[in-house]
Chain A
Amino acid sequence: MPASPLLQLLNVDRTLGGRRVVADLNLTLDRGCVLGLLGVNGAGKSTTLRMIAGVLAPDSGQICVDGKDLREHAQNMRRLRGYLPEQVPLYAELRVCEYLDFCARLHGLGAAGLKQAVDAVIERCDLGQVRQRLLGNLSKGFQQRVGIAQAIVHSPALIVLDEPASGLDPLQAVRIRALIRELGREHAVIVSTHLLPDVQACCDRVVILHQGSVRHDGALPGLGKANSWRVTVVATPAAHEWETLPCVRSAQCLDSGWRIGLVDGATPAQLAQAIVGKGWGLSELRQDDASLEEIFLRIASIETTQVAA
């Protein structure tokens, strides 16, 4: 018998302020997977996550975590689930270690193992240098990391993160994404965002929400899947010239550069070597994320068209 998914949403509906924010939503998530919940503002991402986190009750439908209905087993969810809301829930007057200690107890950790859990999460989220600082005095990046720390201090099976990298500078965003990627190895993680780089950097699977329902659900396109690359060169070779390279399967000219599809088993290093060999002056080689971008923009443009109409 196959194991049930860790998280399961069945026909979930929710209306807020007279607007149907989540409509007949079905979603599953397994352990060891980072799911990116992508959508434009108002698509229903935060409402969905608030329902999964138990902050908001669905009007109808069922949400199960580890096979248990959220409504009937609210108490059992304390150790199973960690949640970072869009606005990081911090008590400005507390120190980092005091706050994490409180959160660990709040999620049901007993005195035994509490200190180790707090120490471990401080190390994992790289908060050692600020552990005695007041939360209100921390930078936005550190506050965000403390927010993630409170969501994982009790080692939950399911981690729910609402816009974890929003408002961060690029360096901080990269660190947060790396942390999420790392968390995805041991936990099931669901991350909402409207930023494509967030999804590309840390998710295994992407679900695009639009007007409260799932419009796309699939593995993240890109490295190791499509084996498609964006290349910019100084020279101006024709498409058929690209296809003479032994590792190239297809070449498509874009506004800026080329989309190059590699044959099975070929690596970007081989492609770079071939371009250099031709003397075309390689200036850029990066993973092609066009398919996700195209899907997202297509869905967003549907909304724009509908709004305009």
Chain B
Amino acid sequence: MSWNLARNELRRAFVQPMAWALLATALCVLAYFFLLSLNGFLLLMPKLAGLDSAPGVTDLIALPLLRAIASVLLLVTPLLGMRAIAGERQNGTLPLLLGSGLGSARIVLGKYLGLAGILVILVVLAMSMPFSLAVGTTLDMGRLLAAMLGLLLFAAALAALALCVSTYAQQPMVAAIVALALNLLLWMVDAGARYEGVTNGFINYLALPTHLEPFLHGIVASVDVVYFVLLIAVALALATRQLASIRVRG
């Protein structure tokens, strides 16, 4: 039944211009960034030929692009997820879901799968750019696949956060602003500590980049996977709890 809800979310997203506009804008920005990186690499290539262990295409083109995809996800996810529950509430359609007998957990799961589905489309389309270089050169495929897994986990975590905030907010725009603030907080929470030289503290563990960067360098560590899975689980549990409490509080 959650699939039905997820399918409906995807259908509703793509019969309206917002998802198309966000995906198109994000992909245009990333494509421009990709072309700039490619051009820079072509200019540098004669110099790189003389170096012994020169950085390759993956380092000079793919890595900056992967970081740009992460930045785009930070901005786009709150906008895509803001309507999830707050929009239903504002639209007066929440009673349809609550009165259907579908439990709060299933409603949250359905909404989550729908939102995550849109983000998967964005990540896969964006990743097709670095993968397309395989036509003209040899890529570090293992590293790129690890980076793709990292970005998918990162997007899944941001989707869970956006959905969670949307269950608490009365209006979609408030949900978007709070989710964006939360994303930026988790992105920069250890910036000050790092400036002071702290790189292995609890505050570093909380920050999103600490767990995304290893994936982008081709390292798939269980600690990072667990971090994203935990973040998703906590956000969805809170969303379920909040949705259940709407029935109680009225």
Which residues of A approach B to under 8 Å, CB–CB? Answer: 14, 16, 50, 53-57, 74-78, 81, 83, 85, 87-94, 98, 102-103, 105-108, 150
Q: Are B11 and A94 in contact, CB atoms less than 8 angstroms apart?
A: yes
Q: Are A16 and B250 in contact, CB atoms less than 8 angstroms apart?
A: yes
Summarize A's interface: helix, strand, loop or mixed: loop
Please, which residues of chain A bring their CB within 8 A of the CB of B101?
A: 54, 74-78, 81, 107-108
Please, which residues of chain A bring their CB within 8 A of the CB of B11?
A: 94, 98
26 contacts between A and B (CB under 8 A): A14-B250, A54-B98, A54-B99, A55-B247, A56-B247, A56-B250, A57-B247, A74-B103, A75-B103, A78-B100, A83-B95, A83-B99, A85-B92, A85-B99, A87-B92, A89-B91, A89-B93, A89-B94, A90-B93, A91-B12, A92-B91, A103-B96, A105-B1, A106-B5, A106-B97, A106-B100
Q: What 0/1 pattern do residues 4 to 40 of B give for CB contact below 8 A with A?
A: 1100100110011000000000000000000000000
Among A50, A53, A78, A93, the residue within 8 A (CB) of B16 is: A93
User: How many B residues touch A, CB cutoff 8 Å?
Assistant: 24
Q: Are A106 and B4 in contact, CB atoms less than 8 angstroms apart?
A: yes
Please, which residues of chain A bring their CB within 8 A of the CB of B248?
A: 57
A98 and B15 alpha carbons, distance in the complex (Å):
12
Within 8 A of A (CB), among B93-127: 93-103
B68 to chain A, nearest CB (A): 31
Q: Are A50 and B95 in contact, CB atoms less than 8 angstroms apart?
A: yes
Among A16, A55, A105, the residue within 8 A (CB) of B95 is: A55
Looking at A76, A89, A93, A105, the one whose CB has the most chain B CB atoms below 10 A away is A89
Q: Are A108 and B1 in contact, CB atoms less than 8 angstroms apart?
A: yes
A14 and B11 alpha carbons, distance in the complex (Å):
37
A79 and B96 alpha carbons, distance in the complex (Å):
14
